[in-house]
Structure formats: C-alpha cells, structure tokens
Amino acid sequence: VNKFTKEILDAYANYEFMEIYKKLINFITTDLSAFYMDVAKDVVYIEAPDSKKRRSMQTVLYDVVVRLTKLMTPILPHTTEEIWKYLKEDEEYAQLSEMPEVKHFNNEEKLVDLWNRFMNLRSGVFKALEEARNEKLIGKSFEAHVDLYVSNGVQADLDALNANVRQALIVSALDVHPLSEAPENALKFNDEYAVVVEHAEGEVCPRCRMIKTDIGSDAELPTLCASCAEIVRENYPEALVEGLE
C-alpha cells in the first residue's frame, strides 16, 4: 500500500493520468481482490468479533479505503464523495482532505523482498493446486492438504513472515518438510521448494468451510470444528440454546 501510494503521488506530480488509472486498476484487481481480500474474508467472517486478527484486518481495510478514496478524488470526485459519507474522517468532504502520506518503516525494503518471495512461492503452490484440480483430486483450494518441501532459505522466509501460511494459501491443511524429503511425484520448483497436493482428510465445517478432523469435538456443537465451536461458545452463547441453522 505504501509503495502504491508513492507511485500514484509521483504520477500525479508528473501529470501521468493514464499511469494512475492503470496502477489503480492493477492494485485493486491484483493486490486487493486476488490476494488480500481472498485471505481476509475468512478472518473477517469467521474470527471472534473482537479478536486481534479480525480487528487488525479491519484496520488495514479501513486504511486502504481511506487511501484509495483520497487518491481517486482528483479523477473521480463524485464517486469519492459518495464513499466519503461512510468514512469516519474529520473532513466533511473528500475534496477537503489531504493526500495520504508515504510512510517509512524499518527494514521496509527487506520486508517487501520477503513478501515478493512468498508471493512467488504462493504462485507455485497455486500451480500445484490447479494441477490437482485438473486431475479431479480436489475441487476448491480449501479441499487440499498441501505438503510443502522447502530449502533452508525458503524455511527461513516462512519463519520470518510471522503469518499464517496455511491461511494465506487458502488450504485446509499444510505440512512443511525439508526439501531433501521431497518424493519423486512432487511438483518441483528449481532447487527451492516442491509441492505435493492431496485431498484433506476429515469433514467440512459449515462455518469456516475448512476440512477438519476435529468436527464434533464439542458435543453441544457437533457440526463445527473445534476452533469454530470455541468462537461460537464464547461469543454467541444463544446458539447453544437455539441451535445452529
């Protein structure tokens, strides 16, 4: 988002309006829709209302909306004013707001490089998922159990990400192994990692849609996985009385 903000501000400064349109469309369709929103929706819909995971993603989404609205105001003034009505900002109108600032963070270049490497790995896993889909092994990605065999460098990246890799890959189960243990049938990507996709074991939880082996571990919520049952029990006690539809 920070890099995107700088690119748009630079384009405005140079009157490169075609670049602005292209970068806006690419950011919304590729970075937001195809990645972040795809990952975020499960957290926002499924996690407890006040959980840190959910609240942090809501904060990011709100910040992105505010930034996008400000950045689009010079070229889409009527649309952005309609959006502005729903934002809790100090200025009454989007036209009165300042353009978003470009923020600077410690080790930001290293973080960008780290996430770029992960996105390349994610593309490789998605290629393996597509092949498994073509072979009728799985339907949607969350039906998959992925075994990921990685080099020491990739393992270091995964450790440094401080993120839920399984969630970012949108699969039901993920196991990570050393690259040296990769079987012959694994889909290999250079000497960095290899992927094996199998159909996940267990049943589908109707709440999170993931395939889990702990469905029914809560006797009062027998159709839910353990994680969803805990969230429902702590935040929606009425469901224990009324039952889940």
117 neighbors 157 (Cβ within 8 angstroms): yes
Q: Are residues 66 and 20 in the same domain?
A: yes
* Owning domain of residue 223: 211-242
- Please give the pLDDT value at position 245: 52
Q: Are residues 14 and 86 in the same domain?
A: yes
Helix residue ranges per DSSP H, the chain: 2-13, 17-26, 37-46, 52-72, 77-84, 108-134, 152-161, 165-169, 226-235, 238-242
Q: Are residues 173 and 140 in the same domain?
A: yes
Q: Are residues 68 and 127 in the same domain?
A: no
- Please give the pLDDT value at position 9: 97
131 lies in some domain? yes
Confidence of residue 211 (pLDDT cuts 50, 70, 90): very high
* Structure tokens, 224: 């839910």
Q: Output the CA–CA distances (angstroms, integers) from residue 42 to 1, 222, 243, in the order listed.
A: 21, 21, 22
129 neighbors 141 (Cβ within 8 angstroms): yes
What is the CATH classification number for the domain harbouring 154? 3.30.2320.20
Q: Are residues 9 and 60 in the same domain?
A: yes
Confidence of residue 29 (pLDDT cuts 50, 70, 90): very high
Q: Are residues 9 and 64 in the same domain?
A: yes
206 lies in some domain? no
Confidence of residue 108 (pLDDT cuts 50, 70, 90): confident
**d(Cα 98, Cα 149) in Å, to the nearest integer?**
47
The pLDDT of 179-196, averaged and rounded, is 95
**d(Cα 176, Cα 21) in Å, to the nearest integer?**
40
- Please give the pLDDT value at position 56: 94
- Please give the pLDDT value at position 240: 77
Q: Are residues 190 and 229 in the same domain?
A: no
Confidence of residue 242 (pLDDT cuts 50, 70, 90): low
pTM of the full structure: 0.85
pLDDT above 70 as % of the chain: 98
- Please give the pLDDT value at position 109: 87
Q: Are residues 143 and 196 in the same domain?
A: yes
Supply the mean pLDDT for the chain. 94
Confidence of residue 239 (pLDDT cuts 50, 70, 90): confident
Tally of CA atoms within 13 A in the half-sphere of 127 that contains its CB = 13
104 lies in some domain? no
Domain tally, the chain: 3
What is residue 219's DSSP assignment? T
Stronger pLDDT, 194 or 42, i.e. the higher one: 194
- Please give the pLDDT value at position 159: 94
* Residue of 186, 204, 188 lying closest to 196 (CA atoms): 186
- The answer, yes or no, to whether residue 243 has pLDDT greater than 70, is no
116 lies in some domain? no
138 lies in some domain? yes
Q: Are residues 15 and 52 in the same domain?
A: yes
Q: pLDDT digits over 118-166, tens only?
A: 999 999 999 999 999 999 999 999 999 999 999 999 999 999 987 889 9
107 lies in some domain? no
- Please give the pLDDT value at position 219: 92
Q: Are residues 54 and 130 in the same domain?
A: no
Q: Are residues 48 and 71 in the same domain?
A: yes
Q: Are residues 195 and 234 in the same domain?
A: no
